[in-house]
Amino acid sequence: MKLLKKLTSTMLSITVIASAAATGLPTKSYTSAASNKVMYSTVISQWQSRINAEKQKFPSYSYWNHKGKSSYNDETYTYQPCDHIHEKALNQSYCSKTRLANGSDCGQCYGFAYKLAKDIWGTTQFYSNNIDQNYEPKVGDNVRLEFTVTTKQGTAKQSHSIFITGISGNNITFADCNGDLENCQIRWDRTTYYDKIIAEDVWVTNSNGTSVNKALFKGDQSSITTVNKAFLRKHGTFYDRPVIAGDLNKNGILDSGDAQIFAETVMANGRTSNSNHTPLSYYDVNGDGHVDYSDYNEIRYGTNNWRIVMPNEYPTCRWKSLNHTSGWLYYDGSYYVKNDLGGVSWIGSVDSEIVDMYVNSRVYCPSDGCWYDVTEIGHEALHERASWRTCTAGYKYKTFHIPDTVKRIHSYAFEDWTATSFEFSGSNPKLETIDQFAFYNCKSLKTLDLSPAKKLKTVGNYAFEGCTALYHVDIPYTGSAINLGSGSGSIFGNTDPSSATIEMKNPNNSTSPSSNYQRINISDKDYNYWLNNNLYYHGKLFKLYHNNTYLGKVDTYINYLRP
């Protein structure tokens, strides 16, 4: 599968937000299969009732503050206006505030617009986009306006936030707080605002009883104008909009651009785009708690069930990022790194859900434009145990197919795997060496057939350490000695083989010539296992040696070699 293939322009583009006469949005309702999901279309179908509920909580011409209140929260309002310029000079503030997604509290115009957005959309997950001449406002946008104001000291910037409640053609209806910039008054169903903000010099008394000069910002009454799209494009700086799961490029639609981002980020290395700012929940399109192919296909092939991302979503990802120092990702979704054999080592795949894994025999390196044989499984950094050389511990592999080109399986290459079968994908495997701890802790592995590997020379000590279920290993006829462990060690390490069988698969049927026998050299600990009937050697036409001491042989009749 080519994870990074270029997506075609014919991919279906799904418009998340379409125009409608009254609201600028579609009114058709779609239901969610899961009751805890908040669907975009559901909010839109209930738009007016949700607006009315907010109007009940925050009556027009009331003030979003807590003057005279001993207890209050972000739904508190009064009928006593704020007097910002004087109250701030006295280090007093009565403005109500709401909690933002980043944990900070915000009041006045932006805080109120954010509060409405939280209540109506049911989430705190919003993305912010800058406003340019292509901006198309949508119902529910929290729009930040900015005006240049001439003051006694020069020029200053004054901002204001509005919450869009309706769109009719080019005209906008909105709600806001502190629209006159000084009193926190709540206004609903507004259609006009100031095109110009002015500053007036005033003297106020501070908490020390000293008079200080301040600039009082207020709207120029002669500049009141209809708020329309052109007005927002002129004065708007950015807008907040609820995150629709899958809208990764933040353009308001689910399209090929989102699918490409999906493929080139989590599907490539398990990481989200701009990982510090894009939560994994934005990728969980169907909201099932997992980021996988079903979410990718929701983007590619389209759905009308656009889901609003909720706070505190922590989905798992099918793809994982592999630690490596100099490897690269091939189109098959696996990482490779150059090795000392003149080829490359497979060090793992990014797809943690693969059950049947085939490794390519030859891969292309984009950094030097060359093709390389895959000659090793696993890789070591400076010959020290490093987590990144351990291919993909904890993945869901059941069967792993080793290409003929592989000559070596490195230490810890298959550490902690759940695989039950390792197979050779070709007819002429070149495998020569299995390093110590290569299959470390493969607790699900019961049998291992190495008989196709007719160039096998060495299986290192501890190669099967922790393989508690392993009871049968087939080894090949090579015409040369095979060293199963060395010195005082054991290929099973400290794991008692518990009557495991090493079986010689010799195709020869004659004792002549003598080279028809396969020589097997075993280590001290495996010799003791054999003496104690905890390890058996079975097959035909093989000779067993311990430290060059001949132990015995089995001729053409298939049998066990007994101590």
Task: Give pLDDT tens digits for 410-440.
Answer: 988 898 899 999 999 999 999 999 999 999 9
Handedness of CA 280, 283, 285, 290 (dihedral sign): negative
**Residues 494-505, mean pLDDT to the nearest whole number:** 96
The verdict on residue 292 lying in a domain is yes
- 403 and 281 both lie in a single domain: no
CA 58/CA 186 separation, integer angstroms: 7
Q: What are the structure tokens assigned to 128, written together?
A: 């912010």
Q: How many domains are contained in the chain?
A: 3
- 232 and 263 both lie in a single domain: no
**Residues 255-259, mean pLDDT to the nearest whole number:** 92
Q: Which of 241, 272, 297 is the last residue of a domain?
A: 241
HEC letters along 489-519: CCCCCCCCCCCEEEEEECCCCCCCCHHHCEE
- 274 and 358 both lie in a single domain: no
**Residues 467-487, mean pLDDT to the nearest whole number:** 97
Q: Is the pLDDT of residue 7 over 60?
A: no
Long-range (24+ apart) CB contacts under 8 A made by 199-207 are 199/149, 199/150, 199/151, 199/152, 199/156, 201/152, 202/85, 204/85, 204/86, 204/89, 205/86, 205/89, 205/90, 206/89, 206/90, 207/89, 207/90, 207/91
- 446 and 471 both lie in a single domain: yes
CA 120/CA 399 separation, integer angstroms: 50
Q: Which of 223, 241, 259 is the last residue of a domain?
A: 241
CATH number at residue 452: 3.80.10.10
Which residue type, as a one-letter code, is found at position 132? D
Tell me which of 8-22, 47-61, 384-398 is least confident. Answer: 8-22
Say if CB 412 and CB 389 are below 8 A apart: yes
Measured CA angle at 465 (ends 459, 466), to 5 deg: 145
CA 64/CA 171 separation, integer angstroms: 26
- Of the pLDDT bands very low, low, confident and very high (cuts 50, 70, 90), residue 149 is very high
Q: What residues does 545 pair with on adjacent strands?
A: 521, 550
Q: What are the structure tokens assigned to 136, written together?
A: 């198309």
- 427 and 540 both lie in a single domain: yes
Say if CB 526 and CB 536 are below 8 A apart: no
How do 447-449 and 472-476 pair as beta strands? parallel
pLDDT tens per residue, range 298-345: 999 876 779 999 998 999 999 887 766 568 888 888 889 898 889 999
The Cβ of residue 106 has, within 10 Å, a number of other Cβ atoms equal to 19
The verdict on residue 473 lying in a domain is yes
Q: Measuring CA to CA, which residue among 470, 503, 16, 475 is closest to residue 252?
A: 16
The verdict on residue 7 lying in a domain is no
Q: Would you state the pLDDT for residue 303? A: 67
Q: Which of 222, 241, 260 is the last residue of a domain?
A: 241
Name the strand (E) or helix (H) holding 378.
Answer: none
The verdict on residue 274 lying in a domain is yes
What is the four-CA torsion angle of 224, 225, 231, 235, rounded to 10 degrees? -10
SS3 63: strand
Q: Measuring CA to CA, which residue among 285, 313, 288 is closest to residue 299?
A: 285
Q: Would you state the pLDDT for residue 481? A: 98
The verdict on residue 1 lying in a domain is no
Q: Would you state the pLDDT for residue 325? A: 58
Task: Write down the mean pLDDT value for the chain.
Answer: 89
The domain in which residue 272 lies consists of 251-306
- 255 and 228 both lie in a single domain: no
Rounded to two decimals, the pTM is 0.72
- 143 and 266 both lie in a single domain: no
256-264 vs 293-301: helix axis angle to the nearest 10?
160
- 198 and 256 both lie in a single domain: no
- 170 and 195 both lie in a single domain: yes
- 366 and 431 both lie in a single domain: yes
Judged by phi (left if over 0) then psi (alpha if -120 to 50, else beta), residue 108 lies in left
The verdict on residue 276 lying in a domain is yes
Q: What are the structure tokens assigned to 381, written together?
A: 């950094």
Say if CB 63 and CB 178 are below 8 A apart: no
The verdict on residue 323 lying in a domain is no
- 235 and 263 both lie in a single domain: no
How do 447-449 and 307-308 pair as beta strands? unpaired
The verdict on residue 2 lying in a domain is no
Tell me which of 97-106, 204-213, 220-229 is least confident. Answer: 204-213
- 294 and 148 both lie in a single domain: no
CA 358/CA 325 separation, integer angstroms: 23
